[in-house]
Homo-oligomer: A and B are copies of this chain.
Amino acid sequence: MPPTAVPTGVAPTGDYSGPLRPQVHFSPPVGFMNDPNGLFQASNGTYHLYYQYNPTALVAGNQHWGHATSDDLYTWTNQPIALFPPSGVEGAGVFSGSAVIDTNNTSGFFGNLTEGVDPIVAIYTLNTPEKQTQDIAYSLDGGYTFTEYENNPVLDINSTQFRDPKTIWHEETGKWVMAVTYSQEFAIGIYTSPNLIEWEFASNFSHAGLLGLQYECSNLVPVPVKDSDELIWVMYISINPGAPLGGSVGQYFPGTFNGTHFEAFDAAARIDGFGKDNYASQFFYGTPANESISIGWASNWQYTNLVPTAEEGWRSSMATPRRHYVTNATRIGYVLASEPYQIESVRNSSLLPDGAESASIVNTTVEIDLKNNTSGAVYFALNFTIPDGANVPETAAVTLTMRSSASNETLLAGHYLGGSNAGTTWVDRGKLTGFEHPLFSDKVSHTIVGNAESLSGIFDRSLFEVFVNGGEFSATSTVFPSEMLDTLEVTTTDLPEGADVSAAVWGLRSTWAQQ
């Protein structure tokens, strides 16, 4: 159970061995976590992840910025809590926000900075019962401890629904640019500043795509175009509640940005992910221009305060870090693709029978024993080959079944290769027995034009993520088995002559085993 006092100066500690505890994803040592905050990559390459953190309870509230660091985005070191609600302000919480590296000391906070230490400024929402303001704090030790700016707030419009500032450096205009949500007016305010302290209103981007009941956690970022040096600006907006699948979801708008105004290329609504559990994604500051990386919160406000991981002393994990690119998908055009960021770095040996690197699975089932995979985390990659012009039956399909030998409960996913559902990927978590709630929907699906070329996925105890065509489309689902899922069956049915499904399955290294 979480401590009753907030730990200061030392990293909170926790037990990462529970059967639902992810082994390659970040989850808080103890207590409740939601949105990722302040993501940046330091000049020495270290990734910093802050997060909305309630260190003293297993439900949302009492918002601090927890902190962790990593060199590979999978192996995390918990750090002391970075931001605390100001003492003496009743009911205050440090809500979501971002961090930047103020390389040119535009803020003036870093006159005496030790050489080699990054000048970090956090820009966040201070939430009080009266209003939400944008405040800043600076760090003289590269992001580990922060000092609140003495003249906070830096942006105050006297609103209770004005939050989640995400700030970037806009090279062309030589200014800081903040995207911040007027949550219940369905608008993203764009503000600019020379120094992170004085902010000037530039424009609003509003009433676009799915409204839900609130806009939250916007990002306005340049994203590389696939196989190109081009960058396309993307406005990314999370909505909650009111997602089509219920609760929380992210959507995005590719377009142009001139330093003050964002214009979407069209009025289409593009949803990021077809699962229910990838929210409040934030893009890292400080990564190379050709690397756009984000982390999302792998949960949904509809049930996050109720999930059974509380029995292990924690609630909520982050989704697998995504590397993004914009691509031109068949027919529908612009797509913000997401691939797991260098998942190879935590791959162990093959789990296929006899340790084979891959298996051809044609109209049969291959059963893969996971009992000796002590991390309980698995990465699979299926490649589909369908001969051009093949007559693919309606019933041609690939099905993955993860099963518990103790309880016989299953987690299922699959892809239809033929008929009217050809190109449809699906996930069914409803046959697991560890959690039941009217809003914990079981089945999700997504259809692309033509068949997928590949389907890959990460299973990590209480998280399941699938990636179609290497990340063109993806779904993140929390999953709650009652018992360990210790078998993976890969089945293909009714593949036509000449078709092949090639499968590779690896265990993943437990990055938390030493903690």
Which A residues form the contact surface with B (CB < 8 A)?
184, 186, 206-211, 213, 241-247, 264, 266-271, 274, 301-302, 305, 331-332, 412, 414, 420-421, 423-424, 426, 428, 430, 438-449
Contacts and interface: CB of A to CB of B under 8 A. Distances in A.
Nearest to A269: B269
Given A241-B424, A267-B264, A302-B421, A445 B449 contact: no
21 contacts: A186-B332, A207-B267, A210-B271, A211-B270, A213-B331, A213-B332, A241-B424, A244-B244, A244-B245, A244-B271, A246-B424, A246-B446, A247-B445, A267-B267, A302-B421, A412-B438, A426-B439, A428-B438, A439-B445, A440-B443, A441-B444
Contact of A209 (B268, B421, B430): B268
Nearest to A427: B438
Contacts of A332: 186, 211, 213
A268 B207 contact: yes
Q: List the number of copies, as a whole number.
A: 2
Contacts of A267: 207-209, 264, 267
A80 B426 CA distance: 41
A461 to B, nearest CB: 23
A438 B400 CA distance: 12
Given A208-B266, A244-B244, A245-B245, 19 more contacts: A207-B267, A207-B268, A209-B209, A209-B269, A213-B332, A213-B449, A242-B447, A244-B274, A246-B426, A246-B444, A264-B267, A269-B269, A414-B438, A421-B439, A430-B442, A441-B441, A441-B442, A441-B443, A441-B445
A474 to B, nearest CB: 14
A242 B447 CA distance: 6
A446 B445 CA distance: 18
A158 to B, nearest CB: 19
Contacts of A445: 246-247, 302, 438-439, 441
A423 B214 CA distance: 14
A184 B264 CA distance: 21
Nearest to A251: B269
Contacts of A245: 244-245
A447 to B, nearest CB: 4
A414 B428 CA distance: 22
B447 A438 contact: no
Contacts of A244: 243-245, 271, 274
Given A439-B421, A439-B443, A444-B441, A210 B269 contact: yes
A186 B85 CA distance: 48
A82 B186 CA distance: 48
Contacts of A208: 266-268
Contact of A442 (B210, B443, B447): B443
A207 B440 CA distance: 32
Nearest to A302: B421
B241 A186 contact: no
Nearest to A428: B438
Nearest to A304: B420
